[in-house]
Amino acid sequence: MSALFSLAGKAALITGATRGIGLAIAREYGRAGARLVISSENAEDCARVVNTLTEEGIDVMAVPADLCDAHAVHALAHRALEHLGRLDVLVCNAGVAPHMGPLGSASDADWELTFTVNLRSALWLTAALLPVMAEHGGGSVVLMASIASVRGNKGLGLYGLSKAGLAQLARNLAVEWGPANIRVNAISPGVIHTDFARPLTDNPEVMQRRLALTPLRRVGRPEEVAALALLLAAPGGAFISGQNLIVDGGTTIGDGN
């Protein structure tokens, strides 16, 4: 492996890491040599993924946590540091989309859940962990946004608002923590083959329209997002900070031809 893409000797915490994009990132980070703490709200899923990745030779531990609970998030940060001894990479990948439809039809509970899991939990984790990261010479933060953060959306407006906030959080933290050699970036995937995207990918009519607007004419794969997350964490990405990098097969720049 090229040293540009090596995470040997590095320690990483990844939320939402038991399936889809988060699991793909955990696997690629582990293969690149990082020691991992993974998290999701489901303890059984965490245990299953730890067993799977351990069998693949990856050094991994799980800390289940409900990201709606500030105390649980701070406990996750504490236990990750306790286990790893340091933190070089933080990936905030967990996300929810409880509301579909016009913004005006979203309930207060929808707003609270969406913004707490998608945005506030990332703020809680970075506030807890970036000072420690700075003490050890710096590191990298990857915040998982969405192409819903860069354009209007009839069905996922509330989700898009939270993800736009996450992209802005990346820019703000990049400015605040850059002098401490901490890089912060967001990734905005398009439609990726995951359970999260199944309401779209399982609907042939919706997919026909979407793919017609996507120059590459296909849906993405989790590992294609994970590869970018690896670059952002590795030495090869050491001069990239404050960006919202789009991985969508060209959907957001397509003209439908």
Which of the residues are catalytic? 159
Q: Tell me the C-alpha distance between 188 and 47, whole Å.
A: 28
Rg of the chain's alpha carbons, rounded to an integer? 17
Helix (H, G, I), strand (E, B) or coil at 128: helix
Say if CB 22 and CB 16 are below 8 A apart: yes
Q: Tell me the C-alpha distance between 123 and 147, whole Å.
A: 20
Say if CB 114 and CB 97 are below 8 A apart: yes
Q: Tell me the C-alpha distance between 172 and 80, whole Å.
A: 24
- The structure tokens listed for 238 are 């050491």
Q: Tell me the C-alpha distance between 207 and 234, whole Å.
A: 34
Q: Tell me the C-alpha distance between 237 and 4, whole Å.
A: 8
- The structure tokens listed for 2 are 């090229």
Q: Tell me the C-alpha distance between 249 and 22, whole Å.
A: 19
Looking from the CA of 71 toward its CB, the CA atoms found within 13 Å total 0
Say if CB 5 and CB 29 are below 8 A apart: no
